[in-house]
Structure 1
Amino acid sequence: MAGAGTDVSGGSNKQVNDDIEGFAVAVVRDEGSWKVTALERSALLDLGEAERQLRDLRATGAVFGLLDVDDEFFIIVRPGPSGAQLLISDATAAVDYDIAADALDEMNIEVPDLDPDELDDVDPWEEGDLGVLADLGLPDAVMSIIVGDTDLYADEQVGMIAARLGFADELSKVLDTLGH
């Protein structure tokens, strides 16, 4: 895993840890109700750390994480026995963010070979499992529409996911406590 703020090619176009804004929350569906809790800030910086925090919840119901990184993109992390299911809303973010590069690496997808200075001219695309939350009521076709709406910020897309699944109020309360 690459460290934030470093680039193996010697350059340093990646986001520095202290500069990353956003939020990371765990969402648990247990016995018909939703529970949303904040994850530690380290979950925004390291995909393995996000997975560890989600696994440590030891919930009996469905568990997944929503990571909003700098309102630029989001990652859904759903731990499972054979590894995590992942969805990243913008694969081009891997050019600038280590956690996005780690998500692509985990899915065996190469980081796009794009010039960081030309990213604004490239249309974003998602990578991963659009059906990651289908069993909870968010079909892959609907997820595709949400991630395809590039006029929305990542927090707005996450809000749409929460509204569609029915935990928007719980998410809002947690985000209020986080100052978002």
Structure 2
Amino acid sequence: MSEQSEAIADGIDFAVVAYREEGTWQVEPLAEDTVEDLDSLAAELRRWPGDGGSLGLLSVDEDFFLIVRVLGAETRILLSDITAATDWPVARSAVEHLELPLPDDEDDQVPAGDLGIVADLGMGAMDMGALLDEYELYPDEMLGDIATKLGFGAQFEEAVGVAAP
């Protein structure tokens, strides 16, 4: 593994794919070497052709998360904090894919991308925006809330190793 790959792997809290197969949610862990950048993550997600595409849920350094949804050639992205692009290659590749300028030190921690990324699955853009305003929540907690809202909370918790309450 290269030094960059090792640094990325050290910062990954978890990476999972979620997809529906015949109406039932499936959640599987992703190998850390498949989430180095947006292109490799999207390519990996295309291996899981669920009903309505597949979702990649990635938490990094207990600091930010990235949701990537692929359906055929389409790739949709939601990055929880645009300022993560200054330190993390996977966040930088997401910002570049969105064709946004890289943030500078004075920029606020705001989301970038598609707040409606999972609107058709049960969580609209307004609900997503409200969740992202919950600054006291960690990325894994936010992703857990999203997974629960979409109907795969228990599978998500099992895949990331969180004990169910």
Choose the corresponding residue for 1:136, options 99, 121, 146. 121
CA distance in 2: counterparts of 1:43 and 1:71, whole angstroms: 19
The equivalences for 1:79-158 within 5 A come to 79-114=70-105, 123-158=108-143
Moved more, 54-63 or 23-32: 54-63
Q: Mark the CA change 1:164 to 1:59 in structure 2 (over 3 Å): closer, same or farther.
A: closer
- Superposition deviation, residue 172 in structure 1: 1.0
Q: Deviations over 1:52-103 (max 9, x none)?
A: 1110123344311111111211111011344310000000101111111100
Which residue identity lines up with residue 57 of structure 2 in the other structure?
L
CA contact (8 A) 2:9 2:33 kept: no
Identical pairs, percent? 35
TM-score (norm 2): 0.88
RMSD: 2.1
Count of residues in Structure 1 that have an aligned counterpart in Structure 2? 160
Choose the corresponding residue for 1:78, options 54, 69, 90. 69
Query: Equivalent residue of 1:24, what SS?
Result: strand
TM-score (norm 1): 0.81
Which residue identity lines up with residue 28 of structure 1 in the other structure?
Y
CA distance in 2: counterparts of 1:134 and 1:71, whole angstroms: 25
Q: Which has the higher strand share?
A: 2
Moved more, 63-72 or 130-139: 63-72
Q: Mind listing any 5+ residue stretches in structure 2 that lack a counterpart?
A: none
CA contact (8 A) 2:54 2:71 kept: no
**Off by >2 Å, runs of 4+ in structure 1:** 15-19, 58-62, 80-83
The structure number with the bigger radius of gyration is: 1
